[in-house]
């Protein structure tokens, strides 16, 4: 194996382990077999396609870009022989791999272009992790919420209050919503009591996506793991709902957009800046600038014009949902979550469910 390709097995194997931990047998198997082909050094189609991406940083998720490109062809009807293997039923990995490599060979040129595209996700289930944070802002301030999302994608998580959330003994949201979360809250589930009226919502993204765009819908769906049917169904439902309830997503850099939005305190509403799995996508300088903007805006906050910073970001092998409130600037851990929001736990002090120890790191 050439030095140029030496980094590929490490990057792809790490992605395979993450897929296994997060419940995709299909993607785990495909990535493991891709690694095996590359390490065999036989010059197969996988190394031919992926060689030029050998030096891509790990955070660009080459494995997901690669599999997302193939999934896009499946969704477009360009890989009909592979499509049945992506249904999630009765997976035969040998047959799937054979059909998968046939697609790589017959669509090599198109895939080479598609793999350049960044992973674009707007994981709707992260709203389940954010919900206890929004409720806490409303409880602490007694004010309606003004929502500002950084890195909003298509703005699907800006519509969190239009979804329905069910825990073992509580529920919150619209029971008639097409977007439903059941089974996400485990062990110490958050309290779902209280109201959180939203009076304003907007977001920004450097490459906004739009629910009404067939191209953007295809992009988002292509990065949902196809053997996770609940996620696929939820994405379809959320995109359909977003077409009926459009929100403004500005094409802007987050640190600049947030600074502009927070120039003046908003009276009689709790301004809540939030983001999910976003900060690592920023360059170090932009990340520092973003934090500085929040700190400076916090100095202007008052009881009648409070500011909240709600973020769901990596905390090791899981995500942490943290909330910082001004005036005061107190920061608290609201919840722990899977990276997709597929499960949510909270520390004992904030829990509304069973008292079970929670690992914080």
Half-sphere exposure for 212 (CA within 13 Å, toward CB)? 7
What b/e string do you get for 207-224 counting C-beta neighbours within 10 Å, with b at 16 or more? Answer: ebbbbeeeebbebbbbbb
C-alpha distances (whole Å) from 177 to each of 39, 56, 173, 189, 212 are 48, 40, 8, 21, 19
Query: Mean pLDDT, the chain, as a whole number?
Result: 91
- For residue 102, what pLDDT is reported? 97
In angstroms, how far is the first alpha carbon of the chain from the final one?
Answer: 37
Residues 52, 137 within the same domain: no
In a domain, 119, yes or no: no
Q: Compute the distance between CA of residue 215 and CA of residue 244 in angstroms, rounded to an integer.
A: 18
For 36-80, write each residue's pLDDT tens digit. 999 987 668 999 999 999 999 888 999 999 999 999 999 999 999
CA-based R_g, the chain, Å: 21
pLDDT of 3 > 60? The answer is no
In a domain, 50, yes or no: yes
Residues 306, 188 within the same domain: yes
Between residues 91 and 292, which one has the greater pLDDT?
292
Range of the domain at 137: 126-350
Kindly state the average pLDDT of the residues 1-6: 55
Residues 25, 157 within the same domain: no
For 164-173, write each residue's pLDDT tens digit. 999 888 899 9
The whole model's pTM is what? 0.90
DSSP, collapsed to helix, strand or coil, labels residue 41 as: coil
- For residue 1, what pLDDT is reported? 47
Residues 342, 206 within the same domain: yes
- For residue 354, what pLDDT is reported? 34
In a domain, 356, yes or no: no
For 82-124, write each residue's pLDDT tens digit. 999 998 667 899 999 999 999 999 999 999 999 999 999 999 9
In a domain, 357, yes or no: no
- For residue 164, what pLDDT is reported? 97
For 307-317, write each residue's pLDDT tens digit. 999 999 998 78
Residues 101, 131 within the same domain: no
pLDDT of 360 > 70? The answer is no
Between residues 349 and 209, which one has the greater pLDDT?
209
For 253-274, write each residue's pLDDT tens digit. 999 999 999 999 999 999 999 9
Show Cβ contacts of residue 232 under 8 Å, excluding neighbours closer than 6 positions. Answer: 221, 224, 226
């Amino acid at each position: 194996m050439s030095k140029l390709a030496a980094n590929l097995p490490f990057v792809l194997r790490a992605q395979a382990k993450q897929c296994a931990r997060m419940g995709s047998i299909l993607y785990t198997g495909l990535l493991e077999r891709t690694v095996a082909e590359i390490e065999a050094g036989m010059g197969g189609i996988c190394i031919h396609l992926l060689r030029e991406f050998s030096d891509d940083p790990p955070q660009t998720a080459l494995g997901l870009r690669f599999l997302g490109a193939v999934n896009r062809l499946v969704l477009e009807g360009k890989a009909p022989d592979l499509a049945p293997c992506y249904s999630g039923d009765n997976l035969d990995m040998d047959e799937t791999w054979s059909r998968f490599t046939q697609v790589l060979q017959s669509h090599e040129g198109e895939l080479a272009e598609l793999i350049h595209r960044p992973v674009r996700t707007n994981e709707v289930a992260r709203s389940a992790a954010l919900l206890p944070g929004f409720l806490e802002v409303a409880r602490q301030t007694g004010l309606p919420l003004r929502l500002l999302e950084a890195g909003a994608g298509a703005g699907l998580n800006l519509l969190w209050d239009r979804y329905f959330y069910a825990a073992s003994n509580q529920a919150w949201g619209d029971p008639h919503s097409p977007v439903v979360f059941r089974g996400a809250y485990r062990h110490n589930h958050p309290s779902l009591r209280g109201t959180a009226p939203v009076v304003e919502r907007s977001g920004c993204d450097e490459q906004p996506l739009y629910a009404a765009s067939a191209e953007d819908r295809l992009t988002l769906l292509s990065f949902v793991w196809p053997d996770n049917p609940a996620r696929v169904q939820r994405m379809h439902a959320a995109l359909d709902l977003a077409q009926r309830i459009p929100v403004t997503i500005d094409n802007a850099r987050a640190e600049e957009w947030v600074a502009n939005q927070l120039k003046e305190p908003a009276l009689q509403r709790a301004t809540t800046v939030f983001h999910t799995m976003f900060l690592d996508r920023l360059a170090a300088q932009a990340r520092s600038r973003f934090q500085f903007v929040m700190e400076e805006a916090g100095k202007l906050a008052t009881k009648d014009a409070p500011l909240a910073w709600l973020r769901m970001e990596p905390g090791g092998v899981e995500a942490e949902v943290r909330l910082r409130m001004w005036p005061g600037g107190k920061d608290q851990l609201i919840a722990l979550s899977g990276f997709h929001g597929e499960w949510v736990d909270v520390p004992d002090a904030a829990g509304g469910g069973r008292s079970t120890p929670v690992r914080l790191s």
